[in-house]
Structure 1
């Protein structure tokens, strides 16, 4: 497998005060079996020492070992290119090769949230790198070495495939006891939060390798360049649903969205949201989901009492389970 035979993929990770997760994610990325990719870390104005830790990691000065990822000293140092938000007006060479791993670090001036933070990197890579695909990847994920090649192989089978997602496992259950977090997702505007995992359906067939779905999680979302909307991710969503909204937009243009069973990612579910207070997290979670439903449900105000009732039931169930 030579580099020239495979599409260029730009991989984007968003970091905000989470360098421990980011470094583990990067280490797994630099061990994948794919020959043509570049990696962008967007730091959303971290207030801790994330920048310094990423710099030290690239030099090979931070060594760690986890159940999922062994530190590979042979691919260090990683060539690090750093650009601030106002320096993104020229091209730089940061495509990794077998002999030299590279990393572009974009330093934002504010915490712009998921959508705008990723949009800054999407805009840069589309303008200067012209990748065939862009991969949005949560920094609290670990990837299987074959995850990307398996995604790409499926994507190339059909020009109408616009978005590809993996099979997500919970990170917490470790590799020897894999437990599925989600496989594909369904948009259902009749019920709050308007979307759910396809795994909740009784008729799900695990024997299929490629599953058509309504959307895939932004924790690991591969999108074809031609399918990317002109305005990228909707920045009015600050706390979730950006990925659902993106998929709805892409599907309206006639593209397929699929999940690939032999593309594996382990996800530390909810790590970014755990950085906020419980009340703040839950309030914004509800607000954002209702925002998404309102955008696409023409009968939103008529159905609002039903949504509120469903939210109330969820809270009661959570309280009961807690005790």
Structure 2
């Protein structure tokens, strides 16, 4: 018997990416899953477009799968943030009786709570209302292969595995679609908060085997047993976004679980689609959360502060200088200042 999986996707002003992601999901071979889509207070027409898609009114185009107009509409259950948090899913029995995977729970958050807070609304809903054994967090700017979830669940059933990631490719890297963004995730240094991706920007030449142990699993594609997620109490909302997946990984490892990449599970990711590459927001949040992560998981900020004011600073100055954007360095120092106050 296959284990049921709840797939949580977060949307914020990105309905076009979200629809391509959903369309790839509804083509997968795994037999028992449900999709919980959290709209994180979008200010565009996301809600309307998602409902139109579920009604078969929008045809999705992607270079990674054949475009076939939907013939069977996707049943949609709309839930307010208030009802989701109060465990007030009035059509729960009706949803459970629907055996088809072509269904969607749409939770409408009142505002943008970031990756951590937005997903936590979905976590609470899944734990309190659905019978899933596993929860999968999936970025809305991804496209999945048809057997990606089958391979993840297979790996998750190995002994003492706490979290599982996918082999994640760039959606498009200089015209190539076989360049790796991350193998599951990568490694992390608890003293400095430095995290890195396995096989980052390397072309996939095979030979990786079935599974690879990781230091952390990226939240881009992260499968975790619901019981473990409940013990961990979800993501730490104080991160808002960035480092919340590394933090969840660190806490999972402290419980004694292994983190693995299911190397046969393939996902394609439109990197930086929501925050922008080298945007002020990204520079600030990564720097701020770098310090918070170290304080929380190592107990001291001194190593991290030295690292941020030496090696990391010179690296950031060099990259911004190459892009003629040195003015953005002020957001780096603001991140350090605010990170020290947390």
TM-score after normalising by structure 2: 0.85
SS of residue in 2 equivalent to 1:306: helix
1:214 corresponds in structure 2 to: 215
Which residue does 1:249 correspond to in 2?
251
Verify the 8 A CA contact 2:7 2:137 in the aligned structure 1: yes
Q: 1:304 to 1:83 in 2, by over 3 A?
A: same
Partner residue of 2:144?
143
Whether the aligned pair in 2 keeps the contact of 1:10 and 1:135 (CA below 8 Å) is yes
Is 1:43 aligned with 2:60?
A: no
> Which residue does the alignment assign to 2:188?
187
What does residue 14 of structure 2 align with?
18
Q: Which residue is equivalent to 1:33? A: 29
Deviations, residues 300-323 of structure 1 (Å, cap 9, x unaligned): 225512322122122223135436
Q: Supply the distance in 2 between the matched residues of 1:47 and 1:82 (Cα, whole angstroms).
A: 17
Which segments of 5 or more consecutive residues in structure 2 lack a partner in the other structure? Answer: 325-342
- Offset at residue 206 of structure 1 (A): 4.2
Q: 1:68 matched to which residue of 2? A: 64
Match of 2:264 in 1: 262
Aligned residue for 2:164? 164
* Counterpart contact for 1:227–1:255, Cα < 8 Å: no
Can you list the C-alpha shifts for 1:59-117, whole angstroms capped at 9, x where unaligned? 01011322023333345310011011122213524469785610000001111111111
CA distance in 1, matches of 2:191, 2:318: 20
Give the Å deviation of 1:215: 1.1
**Residues 315/176 of structure 1: CA separation in 2 closer, same or farther (3 Å cut):** closer
Deviation at 1:27, TM superposition (A): 0.1
- Secondary structure of 2:276's aligned partner: helix
Secondary structure of the corresponding residue to residue 41 of structure 1: strand
Within 2, Cα distance between the matches of 1:100 and 1:255?
A: 30
- 8 Å CA contact 2:31–2:101 kept in 1: the answer is no
Distance 1:208 1:146 in 2: 16
Give CA-to-partner distance per residue, 1:122-170, whole Å, 9 cap, x none.
Answer: 1111111131000000000000000000111111232x11100000000
Pick which of 289-298 and 27-36 moved more.
289-298
- 1:111 — aligned with what? 112
Contact 1:39 1:95 in 2 (8 A): no
The 8 Å contact of residues 81 and 104 in structure 1, kept in 2 or not, is answered as yes
Higher deviation after alignment, 232-241 or 28-37: 232-241
Give the structure 2 partner of residue 126 of structure 1.
127
User: What is the alpha-carbon distance in structure 2 between the residues aligned to residue 146 and residue 56 of structure 1?
Assistant: 27
Which secondary structure state, in structure 1, belongs to the residue aligned with residue 311 of structure 2?
A: helix
> What is the DSSP-based 3-state SS (H/G/I as helix, E as strand, rest coil) of the residue aligned with 2:9?
strand
TM-score by length of 1: 0.90
Question: Which residue is equivalent to 2:155?
Answer: 154
Aligned length: 315
Provide the residue aligned with 1:298 in structure 2. 299
The alignment status of 1:198 with 2:198, answered yes or no, reads yes
Q: Please give the alpha-carbon distance, in whole angstroms, between the structure 1 residues aligned to 2:70 and 2:44.
A: 28
Report the secondary structure of 1:168's partner residue. strand
Following superposition, the deviation at residue 50 of structure 1 comes to 0.3
Structure 1 residues 9 and 141, CA gap change in structure 2 (3 angstroms): same
Q: Which runs of 5+ in 1 are unaligned?
A: none
